[in-house]
Structure 1
Amino acid sequence: MRTDGWHLTEDLDGFLTRTGDFLRSRPALHTVALTVTDALRRRGLHLYGEEAPRFGWLADPDGAVRAVLFRTPPHPLHITPVTEEEADALAARLLALGHDLTGVSAERETAEAFTAAWQRRTGNRGELRRRQRLYRLGDLTVPEPVPDGRARVAGPADRELLIRWYGEFAEAAGQGVIQEAGAWADARVAHGGITLWETPDGKPVAMAGATPEVAGQVRVAPVYTPAHLRGRGYAGAVTADVSRAALEAGAEVLLFTDLANPTSNGLYRRIGYRPVADFAVYGFGAGAGAGS
């Protein structure tokens, strides 16, 4: 369906065929769209919820793609950077089609523009939920002192630990569980996507994950240390190990931080991560359409 330059679809393969070159043209800024659509392609369209995901792209008059969007209900709409006018046109069309969004996640200026447009058109005030910064790894520096112990890739025997820590991480991050914890743990173990730091006696004390490589980029996530074990260097050590492995594999290495957490932002800078762009997540109140 075409709406003022926006093409909307539930056909993931068609979406990726049309927008793949655009997404790969700036893999850092497009990392969320790349990794989420890759996960949907590999693991099924209902990975993030029962309702079918939706996709879209904005084409200029010559047909070139200039922006994309996706929704995995009930999670927020995600948009790559657009102008204020494009954000307003998108809000108008989504409302006309009966979409009622729970929120938006995007590069900061785009998130602000779309939230303002949605508020004007619905009367529902947008609430800032998270401010995030996207980082890219430059020269890797292992933070000193390195704690006693070693890194190892999580295996099937770690499944229950990963399930528990995934839930604790989601609660601590204030973002809720994005997918079923058991399925998340199984998928991460299957591709070696979680590394644990364990003490010399074999006790796991922190974890860092990495997404599968897509378009030459890997995103480190999640990074978690139980509250009672923090402040001992475990998160820095395991993040450095995961980052090194991705870098040695030839990938561009990325991660997001919560700007409300100065400790983690300082840690990642010491490891060698440098800012790329700021993002924001806004939540919306109840509207007039069908759920998102």
Structure 2
Amino acid sequence: MASSDTPSATWQLTSDLDQFLDRAGDFLRSDPAAHTALLSVSDTLRTRGIHVYGERDPLFGIHTEGGGTEGSGSGADGAVDGVFLWTPPHRLSLSPLTDKAAADDLAALLADAGEELPGVGAERETAEAFAQAWQRNTGAVAEVSYRDRLYRLGTLTPPDPAPEGAARVATEADRELLTRWHREFAEALGENAGMDSGTWADSRIAYGGITLWETPDGTPAAMAGRTRRVAGQARVAPVYTPAELRGRGYAGAATVEVSRAALADGADEVLLFADIANPTSTGLYQRIGFRPVRDFAQYVFTRSGVTP
């Protein structure tokens, strides 16, 4: 795919991150909650390098109402109303689209270019529209991998009673543990990690983005991470407790403390995603003050039963 803007219908594509953010930045910041994944991934690409998620160059796309290619994304002609980013070999990440024809156009554009997408993640209706369009254009089979719900923190409510122990910010001395836990977290989800686990640990340690909950004897029992603050929002991710230590309140305590850290860092909104099919985690997050915002879906695409 070409690295310069390539107009097709109302989608413009680019492999230039700065160009993408210059054109789409105002749109992304207009609804930080809906665009939280797009904001955090593009921020990680900006701060950690364009190949942090994989060897291949990312691809970005901007959808405009009138198909215009000039301007900053404001105005009746050419106003930005949808974006995507793709960091191969991972799923395409797509903003909510009010015009579902845009999903058809994008699927046709990428299919005609011979791209092999492994899947898509987006707000539920947008993800479904793109998955159906991808099936029509490629003959691939689209299946839901999992459905998740976005939550926003209202009034933070610590668990009462709190588990024994205390929270602390993870440091370089915890790198080996964090790397292992990040890998185990991805394995538990049945998903490929978004980036190498060691690289992930390094990136979070660099800005104090992981909180550990330790038992009274100093044993780490759970971790809760947070993204960097972007456009006023920060997202809690991931939250992990080793299997043998679950059910004791450690994850909830770590989530409360990492949420406090995000607020202290100036976040206007603290967000998180939770698997709709997991009542334990969804119940926990609501008890400590998180409220549902909207549903998302993650699809996987296969050809002849083989995941690309």
Relative to the length of structure 1, the TM-score reads 0.97
User: Where does the alignment leave 5 or more consecutive residues of structure 1 unmatched?
Assistant: none
Instruction: State the alpha-carbon separation in 2 of the partners of residues 194 and 245 from structure 1.
Output: 10
Give, as a single letter, the amino acid of the residue that structure 1 aligns with 2:34.
L
Distance (whole Å) between structure 2 residues aligned to residue 100 and residue 211 of structure 1: 29
Task: Tell me whether 1:57 sits opposite 2:73 in the alignment.
Answer: no
SS at match of 1:39: helix
Post-superposition Cα deviations, 1:47-84, rounded to whole Å, max 9, x if no partner, equal: 11111100010011101100000100011111111232
1:286 correspondence with 2:303: yes
Amino acid at match of 1:63: G
- The answer as to 2:236 corresponding to 1:231 is no
Corresponding residue of 1:195: 211
1:101 is matched by which residue type in structure 2?
L
TM-score, scaled to structure 2: 0.92
Contact 2:91–2:117, Cα closer than 8 Å, also in 1: yes
The offset of 1:38, in angstroms, is 0.4
1:185-264 matches, within 5 Å, as 185-251=201-267, 252-264=269-281
Alignment of structure 1 residues 1-292 onto 2, 5 Å: 1-61=6-66, 62-82=77-97, 83-251=99-267, 252-286=269-303
Aligned partners of 1:145 and 1:233 also within 8 Å:
no
Task: Please give the root-mean-square deviation of Cα atoms over the aligned residues, in Å.
Answer: 1.3
Unaligned runs of 5+ in 2: 1-5, 67-76
Instruction: State the shift of 1:177 in Å.
Output: 1.9
Deviation of residue 283 (structure 1)?
0.6
Q: Which amino acid aligns with 2:96?
A: P
Q: SS in structure 2 opposite 1:219?
A: strand
**Post-superposition offset of 1:180:** 1.1
Distance 2:126 2:62 in 1: 15
2: CA distance between counterparts of 1:204 and 1:100? 41
AA of the residue aligned to 1:235:
A
Quote the offset at 1:248 in angstroms: 3.3
Q: Is the 8 A contact 2:135 2:142 kept in 1?
A: yes
CA contact (8 A) 2:118 2:301 kept: yes
Aligned residues: 289
For residues 229-262 of structure 1, the C-alpha deviation after alignment (integer angstroms, 9 at most, x for no partner) is 0000000001011112212333110000011111
Cα distance in 2 between the residues matched to 1:183 and 1:248: 25
> Counterparts of 1:285 and 1:207 in 2: how far apart (Å)?
33
Partners of 2:11 and 2:19 lie apart in 1 by 14
Which one scores higher on RCO, CA 8 angstroms, separation ≥ 6? Answer: 1
